[in-house]
Amino acid sequence: MLALVAGGVAFLLVKKPWAKGATPITYSTVTVGKGTIAAQVTANGTLSARGTVQVGAQVSGRIVELHADFNDAVKKGQVLAKIDPQLFQAQIQQQQAAVALASANVNKAQVAVADADRQYKRQKSLQEQQLVAGATVESAEVAYDTAKASLVAARAQAAQAQANLSQAKLNMSYTTIYSPTDGVVLSRAVDVGQTVASSLSAPTLFTIAEDLSRMQIDTAVAEADVGRLTEGMKAQFTVDAFPGKTFEGVVRQVRNAPTTTSGVVTYDAVIDVENADKSLRPGMTANVTFVLQQVADAIKIPNAALRFKPTRDQMQAMRGEAGGGSGRRGSGNWQGRGSGERGSGAAGSGSPDGNGDGATRGSGGGGRGGRDFGDKKPVWKLVDGQPKMVLIKPGLTDGSVTQMVEGELAPGDQLITEVQGVTATNTRRTGAF
């Protein structure tokens, strides 16, 4: 009993920070707005043409002609460059001579076969007349078979020579480099007089974009966000070249192949972009926003107002401010509804003795626990300079503002985010939350 009396005396002796002569209470507020709210995922990517072809050289040699330059529009089959053909012309002449020699050898082998055939037939006829020995006939037969084999070999050599000639002519055709597709030359890697070597790999001479009016963005999406992306989803992006301008695209593919950089896993989401005016260029960095969900004409509640949870001291100070004094009894101007000081909820609607409208320690649901508002959230609205608790049902959020699905708020209302002029003696959150 003595302890309770002593505690009560101590409570009365503590000067409340909101009492007369204390610093006036002020509020930091944000404004309720109206507009479009979109849940989003952001990523960075690089613009490129949907189809890019690297044109190389299949033979080595010196560039003697160039017929295309940077940004030139080219057609399929158009001549882009020529390599010095003299060496390949000499190879063709050499192979033509080899073909002629092989053809002559075939003719020689055919004559030898015909002669060996006659000799064999003559010796066999003589053997039938018993004019020559059998060994002579066998020798003639061997010579005939050898001549036939030589003819086969000569014909094979002639075919090989003809194949070499065809290869030389093909190499000669490679000295003229044609465009494999319609498009625009993005880069040119050679000049006239420069020697290109294709011994190990074909050097890239030109890079051609097939169609710059249809482009794509390859984005690096974090693994935490990739599960929310789907094909056909809309995306918006900006580029540094056109500040303040927003472009649109559509997700074509979310690729399964991961990319790991410094332990961070990302996935490539490919976005199709229409570029009819060709203002976008390959290689531009795009800051992409994937629109997961969007609500137009929404009442927008700043998230700072939803995060505001006054302490017990701030609650008492706001109750005293709303009631016009610092006493323990609230007035009808206090709009929050609580329980009695002990939080039973059975003694009136919020003052310590059950007769006021304020809240000191209790919660509306009884006991010392937090009040359950179900799917609604409390925010504090300033009405004629006085705080009023309003329950709202939140909806879609973009991280900075939240849609109000249900509630008595209108654009322009001021919501409290901070209370100044109250020194918190107890940092416990009020039971109203």
Asked which of 260, 278, 297 is the last residue of a domain, the reply is: 297
Structural domains counted in the chain: 4
Q: Pick from 222, 314, 208: which is nearest to 260 by CA? A: 222
Looking at the structure, do residues 281 and 308 belong to the same domain, yes or no? Answer: no
Residue 416 lies in a domain: yes
Residue 11 lies in a domain: no
Coil, strand or helix: which one is 323? helix
Looking at the structure, do residues 287 and 318 belong to the same domain, yes or no? Answer: no
User: pLDDT-based confidence at 5, cuts 50/70/90?
Assistant: very low
Q: What's 73's domain CATH number?
A: 2.40.50.100
Residue 260 lies in a domain: yes
Looking at the structure, do residues 154 and 184 belong to the same domain, yes or no? Answer: no
Looking at the structure, do residues 114 and 168 belong to the same domain, yes or no? Answer: yes
Looking at the structure, do residues 413 and 329 belong to the same domain, yes or no? Answer: yes
Has residue 363 got a pLDDT over 80? no
What is the residue range of 193's domain?
58-83+176-203
Which helix (H) or strand (E) segment holds residue 135: the answer is helix 134-174
pLDDT tens per residue, range 207-235: 999 889 999 999 999 999 999 999 999 99
The token pair that represents 172 in the structure block: 């000669």
pTM: 0.60
Residue 276 lies in a domain: yes
Residue 168 lies in a domain: yes
DSSP assignment string, 77-118: T-EEEEE--HHHHHHHHHHHHHHHHHHHHHHHHHHHHHHHHH
Looking at the structure, do residues 182 and 72 belong to the same domain, yes or no? Answer: yes
Q: Do residues 341 and 402 make contact, with C-beta atoms less than 8 angstroms apart?
A: no
Looking at the structure, do residues 72 and 198 belong to the same domain, yes or no? Answer: yes
Residue 432 lies in a domain: no
Looking at the structure, do residues 374 and 254 belong to the same domain, yes or no? Answer: no
Other CB atoms within 10 Å distance of the CB of residue 84: 15
Least confident of 100-109, 126-135, 256-265, 288-297: 126-135
How far apart are the C-alpha atoms of 80 and 244, rounded to whole Å?
39
Residue 12 lies in a domain: no
**What was the pLDDT predicted at 326?**
42
Answer positive or negative: Cα dihedral of 288, 293, 295, 299. negative
Looking at the structure, do residues 274 and 289 belong to the same domain, yes or no? Answer: yes
Looking at the structure, do residues 220 and 244 belong to the same domain, yes or no? Answer: yes
Q: Do residues 274 and 250 make contact, with C-beta atoms less than 8 angstroms apart?
A: no
Looking at the structure, do residues 130 and 116 belong to the same domain, yes or no? Answer: yes
Q: Do residues 204 and 194 make contact, with C-beta atoms less than 8 angstroms apart?
A: no
Which helix (H) or strand (E) segment holds residue 164: the answer is helix 134-174
Residue 406 lies in a domain: yes
Looking at the structure, do residues 309 and 408 belong to the same domain, yes or no? Answer: yes
The token pair that represents 78 in the structure block: 């158009």
